[in-house]
Amino acid sequence: MPVAVITGASRGLGLALASSLAARRWDLVVDARGGDALAEATAGFIGDGRVVAIAGDVADPGHRAALVDAARTLGGLDALVNNASSLGPSPLPRLAELPLDALDAVLRVNVAAPLALIQSALPLLAAGGRIVNVTSDAGVEGYEGWGGYGASKAALEQMSRVLAAEHPELRVYWVDPGDMNTQMHQDAYPGEDISDRPAPETSVPGLLALLEGTLPSGRYVARQLVAA
């Protein structure tokens, strides 16, 4: 069975993707900051694959090492999905009011942590292995209030482009899942009704196409990918 590491898998897109892969008989290493929420989420998985759930923060080097060690114990690594993200302050501040320590924290989780996890995972990834970095249209468009988060996703996208150039033997994807009805999107719009946003499950088929298909490295929009 193929093995995947998925960060941020206790809710939202990470949970939807992990649940789908478990049903497709993938072995999984999943994480989230909240141990109880992660245990509850993974208890509902249906499938024959093994699931190793490790609570922790992707910004913690020891936690990242535990994720990679768990994948090694499962037999290797076929896919790394960097899904965990930090939105930053809520409500979203304009750049003129964005605290620099908050920006540092967002960059640490959204840029430095994925790179560190990639560095640790590379020795386990054989030719054809997948790296999926979940990004956002906020990384390519200018939305008021989204400067800190958007800057982190722009950095993640450029890092992904360079990684793809440096590792042509791998399939490196940076993927915009689109707007979704998730806690992160609710935090971005406190007090607003976001029930009109699509469920994160609607973005999963596009991610599966990347994880199980033969598309070349590049940037993709998950729901457009399936529609195409």
Residues taking part in catalysis: 149
Upstream peptide bond of 198 is cis (omega within 30 degrees of 0): no
Cβ proximity of 18 and 11 under 8 Å: no
Bridge partners for 134 per DSSP: 175
Cα 37 from Cα 105, distance rounded (Å) = 23
Which single residue is written with the structure tokens 């037999």?
A: 75
Question: In one letter, which amino acid is 128?
Answer: G
| SS3 category, 18 | helix
| SS3 category, 133 | strand
Q: Could you tell me the sign of the dihedral formed by the alpha carbons of 55, 61, 66, 71, in that order?
A: positive
Question: In one letter, which amino acid is 165?
Answer: A
Closest CA to 49 of 76, 79, 19: 19
Closest CA to 81 of 225, 204, 224: 204
